[in-house]
Chain A
Amino acid sequence: MPESVTDEEHTEIERSRRTDEELLSRGSDRASLDVGGAARPREGYGTQAHIWQREKVFELSDVRISYAGVPAVRDVTMNIHKNAITALIGPSGCGKSTLLRSLNRMNDLIPTASLDGTVHYHGEDLYASTVDPVRVRQLIGMVFQKPNPFPKSIYENVAFGPKVLGMKDDLDERVQGALEGAALWDEVKDRLDSNALGMSGGQQQRLCIARALATDPDVILMDEPCSALDPISTGKIEDLMLELRESYSIVIVTHNMQQAARVSDATAFLIVELDEAGKQRTGRIVEYDETEKVFTNPSDSRTEDYVTGKVG
């Protein structure tokens, strides 16, 4: 059963003023106000409850991810909330992608990777030995930095997820629904059998989003989804993200601060720190708060330097 994170466990974490204790305790105080419960409603919330009051999708507690014993990112304690776009920003090497990949257990594919601490998904330990990574990845989808459509037809691309997961009924409707959800249906409905590699970069990335949507996920993780795209495609995908937020929870890693400011509801700012010996570079969270606050009135001077462009 899930353990709620106690305040004592967090006093040792150095944080900026809007501390993690407040966030977490606020979260647990307001637990009774959470909307949604166990089911994932498809329809939007309309006038949304405040982000910290929504159900917690992920609860990370003292997470440290290491490669071959060397920590890449540590002391991560944060909650990710439902139907929100949570952005992870920070300079290169601060472990944003590593952290993102830990949320759908993609780090399992790297033999030397290990995770300490706990990641709870809707209250359940994501890394428990009884958890099936395949099921995890069905519910928590991922879109990568460089669009990676399969060298197959558009239909086969979107249908692949449901097929391998055994969701074989109503495949046509499922494919259509996913493509509509990714704002791609009208552009490709007449050429579903054509090779996916013939599409433009922006279309390919939307196809990858459609692919992730086809498995009925709960969360969509995006690792710098627009960094390989032109500004117009980027804009389209950002609009898409805001639409998707109604039905899914989105976590996005981005180098583009303006993008984080535009689309996200909450932003976590990470930095890289050298250890005492000056040899290892490890990432950690400096500040995690509502986006507006992080960008207009950040609590930590390092955050302020980064978002105003003084550094990084």
Chain B
Amino acid sequence: MASRHQRRQRAAVDAARLATERGSVGVTRAKEVAFKAFLLFSVGIGIAMLVTLIVKAFVDGMPRLNIDLITAFPSALPEQAGIQSAIVGSAYLMVGVAAITLPLAVGSAIYLEEYADKDRWWNRLIEVNVQNLAAVPSIVFGILGLAFIVRGPLGIGPVILAGSITLSMMVLPTVILASREAIRAVPDSIRQGSLALGATKWQTIRHQVLPAAVPGVATGMILALSRAIGETAPLLLVGGVTFITFNPELDPQDWFGFDSQFTALPLTIFNYLARPQEEFRTLAAAAIIVLLVLLLTMNSIAIYIRNRYRKRLEQN
């Protein structure tokens, strides 16, 4: 809801913009128009590509967009096949990624922002490392997961937990970055005020800085999850078997399901697309729609959180 001041500001800016645009004469005016056209064209191309993708997926997948899709498991017969195990597998993976990434990322961010002395070389080294990790191709994380988690020292096998750990390593730098930004955005005056009252540094972080940083951290976490949910390459290596006809068991012995073999949405899509039958491609398109809907929902939640809390802090 715009305040009176904001409305007046907007009106003034609009008036100024009109004056600038209308004021141009002749060649300058043509340049203005051409520039604007070019900008619209650039935006248009991006949107057009996205719209084409979504429309094609819808058109191809429409025949199979019904409840059977979600209730049925993969099968050799396309009429009976669904993607339930893929959806549940993806959900498990995301829960695992969130549980692993959140404490590690927030802890790292707190250390780097609040405790690390930037003049020390090892702290600068940590920072550079974190930034570099964000650029590593996802398949490298898959190899890492295969070598050290599925086999090697941890050796837990091609199970959901291995997939979660691998994906966590991949998204960790992003969430660390988002958390650091969120912590940095908390005004220093809040810390000073808290310390001046007699709070210790940790009390200040726990009671003032972290609560104020929650929206930024949540946004970063959700955006990281929305990236992880679509990753295929690392999961292929870590053992995401594509033909799974069961859901993981919520059994304590099976680590509540994390110790079970799994599949995920992108893996199932990949698998269905590779099959010769036309019906499987329809199924794949339907699965793509499901994945897109999930992505859209997650991103919308992240944006909503970010917008709502930005207003709250800016009320100052």
Question: A interface vs B, CB < 8 Å?
Answer: 104, 106, 109, 111, 134-135, 137-138, 141-142, 144, 146, 148-152, 160-161, 164-165, 195, 197-198, 208, 211-212, 215
Is B87 interfacial (CB-CB < 8 Å)?
no
**Is the pair A106, B194 in contact by a Cβ cutoff of 8 Å?**
no
Is B189 interfacial (CB-CB < 8 Å)?
yes
Least Cβ–Cβ distance between A235 and chain B, in angstroms = 23
Contact for B198 among A109, A144, A215, CB less than 8 A = A215
Least Cβ–Cβ distance between A248 and chain B, in angstroms = 15
Is B190 interfacial (CB-CB < 8 Å)?
yes
**Is the pair A150, B193 in contact by a Cβ cutoff of 8 Å?**
yes
Name the B residues within 8 Å of A151 (CB-CB): 190, 212, 312-313
Interface string of B185-226 (1 = CB under 8 A from A): 001011011111111100100011001100000000000000
28 contacts between A and B (CB under 8 A): A106-B192, A106-B196, A109-B192, A134-B199, A134-B200, A135-B198, A137-B195, A137-B198, A144-B192, A144-B193, A148-B193, A149-B193, A150-B190, A150-B194, A151-B313, A152-B211, A161-B197, A161-B199, A164-B194, A164-B199, A165-B199, A195-B312, A195-B315, A197-B316, A208-B193, A211-B193, A211-B197, A212-B197
Among residues of A, the one whose C-beta sits closest to the C-beta of B203 is A164
CB neighbors of A among B125-168 (8 A): none
A23 to B194, CA, bound (A): 36
Among residues of B, the one whose C-beta sits closest to the C-beta of A111 is B117
Known: A134-B200, A195-B315, A211-B197. A148 touches B192 (CB 8 A): yes
**Is the pair B315, A165 in contact by a Cβ cutoff of 8 Å?**
no
A72 to B190, CA, bound (A): 25
**Is the pair B195, A197 in contact by a Cβ cutoff of 8 Å?**
no
Least Cβ–Cβ distance between B114 and chain A, in angstroms = 12
Contact for B190 among A111, A141, A148, A198, CB less than 8 A = A148
**Is the pair B315, A197 in contact by a Cβ cutoff of 8 Å?**
yes
A215 to B208, CA, bound (A): 18
Name the A residues within 8 Å of B207 (CB-CB): 160, 164
Least Cβ–Cβ distance between A9 and chain B, in angstroms = 32
Contact for B197 among A109, A152, A164, A195, CB less than 8 A = A164
- Identify which of B193, B203, B315 gathers the most chain A CB atoms within 10 Å of its CB: B193
Known: A151-B212, A197-B315. A165 touches B193 (CB 8 A): no
Total contacts A-B at CB 8 Å: 71
Name the B residues within 8 Å of A138 (CB-CB): 197-198
Name the A residues within 8 Å of B193 (CB-CB): 144, 148-150, 208, 211
A135 to B316, CA, bound (A): 30
Name the B residues within 8 Å of A134 (CB-CB): 198-200
Name the B residues within 8 Å of A146 (CB-CB): 189
Name the B residues within 8 Å of A197 (CB-CB): 312, 315-316
A151 to B199, CA, bound (A): 16
Among residues of A, the one whose C-beta sits closest to the C-beta of B119 is A111
Among residues of B, the one whose C-beta sits closest to the C-beta of A143 is B196
Least Cβ–Cβ distance between B186 and chain A, in angstroms = 9
Name the B residues within 8 Å of A109 (CB-CB): 192, 195
Name the A residues within 8 Å of B203 (CB-CB): 164
Name the B residues within 8 Å of A148 (CB-CB): 187, 189-190, 192-193
Name the B residues within 8 Å of A104 (CB-CB): 196
Among residues of B, the one whose C-beta sits closest to the C-beta of A157 is B193
A106 to B190, CA, bound (A): 14
Name the B residues within 8 Å of A215 (CB-CB): 197-198
A213 to B193, CA, bound (A): 13
Least Cβ–Cβ distance between B182 and chain A, in angstroms = 13
Least Cβ–Cβ distance between B32 and chain A, in angstroms = 42
Known: A138-B198, A215-B197. A150 touches B208 (CB 8 A): yes
Least Cβ–Cβ distance between B249 and chain A, in angstroms = 44
Name the B residues within 8 Å of A152 (CB-CB): 211
Least Cβ–Cβ distance between A205 and chain B, in angstroms = 12
A71 to B167, CA, bound (A): 52
Name the A residues within 8 Å of B316 (CB-CB): 197
A127 to B186, CA, bound (A): 30
Least Cβ–Cβ distance between A98 and chain B, in angstroms = 14
A147 to B208, CA, bound (A): 16
A109 to B207, CA, bound (A): 18
- Identify which of A109, A148, A211 gathers the most chain B CB atoms within 10 Å of its CB: A148
A301 to B197, CA, bound (A): 39
A134 to B201, CA, bound (A): 10
Q: A-B pairs with the 7 shortest C-beta distances? A: A148-B189, A161-B197, A138-B198, A142-B196, A137-B198, A164-B199, A148-B193
A255 to B160, CA, bound (A): 64
Least Cβ–Cβ distance between A115 and chain B, in angstroms = 17
Name the A residues within 8 Å of B198 (CB-CB): 134-135, 137-138, 161, 164-165, 215
Name the B residues within 8 Å of A212 (CB-CB): 196-197
A211 to B189, CA, bound (A): 14
**Is the pair A198, B195 in contact by a Cβ cutoff of 8 Å?**
no
**Is the pair B208, A137 in contact by a Cβ cutoff of 8 Å?**
no
Known contacts A134-B199, A151-B312; 13 additional CB pairs below 8 A are: A134-B198, A138-B197, A141-B196, A144-B189, A144-B196, A149-B193, A150-B194, A151-B212, A151-B313, A164-B203, A197-B312, A197-B316, A212-B196
Name the B residues within 8 Å of A198 (CB-CB): 315
Least Cβ–Cβ distance between A145 and chain B, in angstroms = 9
**Is the pair B192, A141 in contact by a Cβ cutoff of 8 Å?**
no
A33 to B129, CA, bound (A): 66
Interface string of B13-46 (1 = CB under 8 A from A): 0000000000000000000000000000000000
**Is the pair A160, B312 in contact by a Cβ cutoff of 8 Å?**
no
